[in-house]
Amino acid sequence: MALFAVAAAGVVTILAVVLIVLVLVVYLVSIILHLRKITAGLAEVMGGVGEIVQKSAPVNGVVKTINEQLDTGVDLLEGLLVKKAGIDDALGLIDGIYPGSAASGFRKFPESRTTKPPRIAEVYTRGTLTLARLGREAPIAAASPSGPALRNAEYGSAAAAKLYPEARQARPSSHPRSPVVGTASPIQYGPSPPDTISWGRAAPEPAEPEAPAPEPPAAAEPEAPAPEPPAASEPQVPAPEPTAPAEPTTISWKRG
């Protein structure tokens, strides 16, 4: 009985160990198969990652160069704008085109961050600003930003005229009035025959000497003499070829 019990216990132990080993084998083989799949998949992934690394290798240098070039361009344009328009007007122009951008100011001009931009764009369009700045050096922002708007939208021309010196306006008060025409006009113009031009004569004051008609200013300007046609008796000489080289004229934009 005891021997049978010992034999039974031993058999159960052996069965348990065999069972455990079988379980281990089954699961470990399954895990090994999965790990092989993983290895194959990772090899494929490494190929793709290698391509990515290879293709993205020059990106840093190229992007860095592009950024440096763009920074140079921005600095150049900002410097030119500030040089030509002044820091105040430049900020006003920038803020007019991109509202709110003047708060960040210009990169190379730290004082621009604390400068209050004039309200240029509220009263002038871009074209007006450009023409005024290019042509007349108008003090557009002289009264801004604390003053009232410089330009009345309904009477824009009158408001704009106040911006410029009086000498440029050539007020009509300093000019003679327009001539009077009609039967009661002081100067009577007779009917002109065809193909002729009749200049007016002062009818009521014949004693007054006639002032010579001023030549138009264009006539007073020296004109290039027209080349005389060759005489008929002269032998025709072939026109000399121009000796100047046919190269295009080179214009240097740098200050001498």
Which residues of this chain interact with other proteins, rule CB under 8 A?
Answer: 2, 5-6, 9-10, 12-13, 16-17, 19-20, 23-24, 27-28, 30-31, 34-35, 37-38, 41-42, 44-45, 47-49, 51-52, 55-56, 58-59, 62-63, 65-66, 69-70, 72-73, 76-77, 80, 83-86, 89, 134, 137, 253-255
Q: Considering the complex, what minimum distance in angstroms separates the CB of residue 94 from other proteins?
A: 15
Question: DSSP per residue over 200-211, as a string?
Answer: -EESS-TTSPPP
Closest to other proteins by CB, 70 vs 203, is 70
Characterize 180-195 residue by residue with b for buried, 16 or more Cβ atoms within 10 angstroms of its Cβ, and e for exposed.
Answer: eeeeeeeeeeeeeeee
> What phi and psi, each to the nearest 5 degrees, are found at residue 213?
-65, 125
Q: What is the nearest approach in angstroms of other proteins to the Cβ of residue 25?
A: 10
Q: Which is nearer to other proteins, 42 or 149 (CB)?
A: 42
CA–CA dist 188, 203 (Å, integer): 6
CB closer to other proteins out of 133 and 187: 133
In the three-class reduction of DSSP (H, G, I as helix; E, B as strand; rest coil), residue 181 is classed as coil
Closer of 177 and 255 to other proteins (Cβ): 255
29, two tokens: 């083989």
- Determine which helix (DSSP H) or strand (DSSP E) holds 187, and give its type and residue range: strand 187-188
